[in-house]
A and B are shown apart, each in its own frame.
Chain A
Amino acid sequence: MTDLSLSNQTMAGKAAPPAEARSLRLPTQWLGVAPFFIFAIMFLILPTLYLMLGAFQNDAGEFTLENIVALAQPSIVAAYWISIKVSLASALIGAFAGLAIAIAIVRGGLPNWIRSATLTFSGVASNFAGVPLAFAFLATLGRLGLATVILNTVFGLNIYAHGFNILSFWGLTLTYVYFQIPLMVVIITPAIDGLKKEWGEAAATLGATTAQYWRMVVIPVIWPSFLGTVILLFANAFGAIATAYALTGSSLNIVPILLYAQIRGDVLHNAHLGYAIAFGMIVITGLANVFYIWFRTRSERWLK
């Protein structure tokens, strides 16, 4: 790595026009990237560090682990737990459904327009999140929603009598899936495209059945991208608040909603505990992304 950046630096130096004075080069070099770095430090890195440090301080500004320990109280643990469950469930469902759709549109022999239409729609739906998505699902699966009513009147199935509630774990998960599936489709389709037709043909001439080809080649090749994307979807759901808040108000106690209430009104009566909750969120999404990048690098190496 060091070697590479060094040679790049010398190359960049050589490429510079001779008219540029040597003494002036360093400052002008940095001028173009300065706004970016100043912005990133002031509005992305410092505020985050501020919270992370705050998580390890008490009101007097002394170092303490009290706030982290205080995260162990049942209400906060429950919030983390349900957040993780919703994120994981929506990520897994979204990932498997999205993978199936991606395979269907790339390898399923469907007409070409279906592929482009699906990809376009996925671009839209993966960005259709937040408050309006909650409204759409209330109109569909709320007590008076179209799907609820039709299931009840036409099929005689009263889902609310069977314990379903849009304001519950499964309701929220089903709603999140609406942006998770399209996100999966958008990210995994290039990986499916990367499966070369010749691999299948090579396997066939070597005597492999379709099932053997899938088990020995396709699944191992897609696996890292798939797992990486599951993690990305997990992080995506874990930090989301608007959909959940609009859907359930504060009746479903997920971490972002807890933090939201804490910021608005210090419901935990301890400002530094708020920092600790934020810290916990960063740790979880950060870990998830470290895994994501790791898996991504592995799959890109293969699919070069």
Chain B
Amino acid sequence: MKGGRFWAWVVFILGAAYFFIPLIATVEFSMRMRRGVYSFDAYQIVLGDERFQATFMYSVIAAIFTIVLGVLIVVPAAYWIRLRLPQLRPVVEFITLLPLVIPAIVIVFGYIRMYGSNSPLPFLASDVGTNALLVIGYATLALPYMYRAVDTGLRTIDVRTLTEAAQILGAGWGTIITRVILPNVLIAVLSGAFLTFAIVIGEFTMASLLNRPAFGPYLQNIGANRAYEPAALAIIAFVITWGCMSLIQILSRFAPRSANRPN
């Protein structure tokens, strides 16, 4: 067993090195802008850049709309399937896995061809329509994660029994959804939301192909034209991802635990 522990440390340290060296190198690189001394100049320039602010805000708003759209589509479906239509579960699970099978670039390619200016549903004819299509595209990308988060949340609270208990106590559907189900799956929904945010905020392919002024294409553009700013941006993006994942971790501590589960 002693030898086993030695190798475990070797593996862990090698892995840690592979993962931390790029982060350290990126931090170092991002601070090299002023000749001879380390400085935060790159960060100042990036954060002060109007296009950074505009594109970042655009992506934040797109992410928020994506989350709202995702919740509106996923929560009722997941709830209804748990409650009334369990026979549809395999179909819905299959569909929610499709975005992992079909690359994003293919999905957006389909949108461009199907919803062009001359099509019956000309999303791409207007700015608003294109923005909507971007949000829709993001919602499909987030679908697997959102569905899984919500479904797990519903499974732990045993919606069926809760709903029936509420019905016996005389609650109407409005009360059941707002007072019983939503508070109990809120944590799961929020976890899905933060994961969606992390995926969407720097997304490049869809935003770029739909010509949206989003953060992803901005990053790519800076990367092609500047030296030190991209490193600063990479660190900022890493911090955002880290923040989203930490929030999910913190939230999971507040998640309701089912009384039925032994563990």
Contact = CB atoms under 8 A, between A and B. Distances in A.
Interface of A: 5, 8-9, 12, 15-17, 29, 31-33, 35-37, 39-40, 43-48, 50-51, 54, 97, 100-101, 103-105, 107-110, 114, 118, 120-121, 123-125, 127-128, 130-140, 144-147, 177-178, 181-182, 232, 235-236, 238-242, 245-246, 249, 256, 259-260, 263-264, 274, 278, 281-282, 285-286, 289
The main secondary structure of chain A at its interface with chain B is helix
A260 to B, nearest CB: 6
Contacts of B102: 44, 48, 239, 282, 285-286
B22 A140 contact: yes
Which 4 interchain pairs have the tightest Cβ spacing? A108-B8, A47-B110, A239-B103, A32-B80
Given A36-B73, A235-B100, A242 B216 contact: yes
Contact of B111 (A47, A178, A182, A282): A47
Contact of A127 (B25, B139, B245, B249): B245
Contacts of B92: 33, 36
B103 A127 contact: no
A284 to B, nearest CB: 10
Interface string B192-216: 0001001100111100110000001
Contact of B204 (A31, A245, A281, A282): A245
Contact of A101 (B15, B25, B29, B97): B15
Interface of B: 1, 4-5, 7-9, 11-12, 15, 18-19, 21-26, 28-30, 72-74, 76-77, 79-81, 83-88, 92, 95, 97-114, 136-137, 139-140, 143, 160, 164, 167, 195, 198-199, 202-205, 208-209, 216, 219-220, 223-224, 230-231, 233-234, 237-238, 241-242, 244-246, 248-249
A145 B4 contact: no
A109 B1 contact: yes
A285 B101 contact: yes
Given A12-B86, A127-B241, A127-B245, 15 more contacts: A5-B86, A17-B167, A32-B79, A36-B77, A43-B140, A47-B109, A51-B110, A101-B12, A123-B245, A146-B28, A240-B103, A242-B216, A245-B220, A259-B109, A285-B102
